[in-house]
Amino acid sequence: MNKRFGLRYTATKITLLIVLLIVAALTTGCGVQQRENAKARQKNYWDELDALWEKGPKSKDWDMYYETRLVEPHGDSDGAKSYDQTYYVSYTSKRVDGFEMISFINIPAGDSRSLKERANGYFNLQTNQVEELPESEGFMKLVATEHKDLALTNFIEDGTLAQKYPGKRVYRLVGKDWDRIPESGEDRERHRPDSPTKDRPGRPFREDWPRVFSDIDNTSGPLVGYDDKTKKWETLEPGK
């Protein structure tokens, strides 16, 4: 074999070997990065959320329970795929037995705020809405007694009914009747094992909450009203 050719052949093999090693390193690096990204997406923030809740002022009057958690793909403005996390939770009043609202905490992937800032915003959003009502405890007692089968998610003030119900502030309760939710046939568990359970027939499992939320009609719930003169709450119309 020509000596010069042999040297070129050897150099070519070395070059190919270097290229293959670089490609292998890049591939391994990508694999590690993908695994790290997947691990980051799968991180469950419930312990952090729970700790923030317990340290906050709301925990004095409310219990918060973890219902379910979803991690869904979300396209950012730069076209990259990131993941948003949504935590479905329930707020149970410590002041009024039986009053509960179902809500959610959404953590956008592209949100630069701290977890504490984001979480406290959601904590306040739902509980403040109830607390700012006139005679809020009366509202909670009415819902807990006359509408206890409603998976309450929200309530909306309707100012268009002023003529039909003069002197009253009218609200539409938003949610879904437990009776209309298929029974699971199994016991539903709370996030905290030491918490009292308040299972109702037909109550869905944690993983069913996204379906319950997506199937809610904002115009079919009961109408309740607050009388400015008597300072009392009453049911004005049953749900459809």
d(CA 182, CA 175): 15
Helix, coil or strand: residue 74: strand
pLDDT, tens digit, 9 for 90 and up, residues 161-196: 988 999 999 999 998 876 655 544 443 344 333 333
The domain limits of the chain are: 1-42, 46-237
At 19-76, the pLDDT tens digits run 666 666 666 554 444 444 444 556 788 888 899 899 888 999 999 988 788 887 776 5
pTM for the model stands at 0.70
Q: How many other C-beta atoms are found inside a 10 Å radius of the C-beta of residue 84?
A: 16
What mean pLDDT do residues 125-151 have?
93
**23 token code pair:** 């490609």
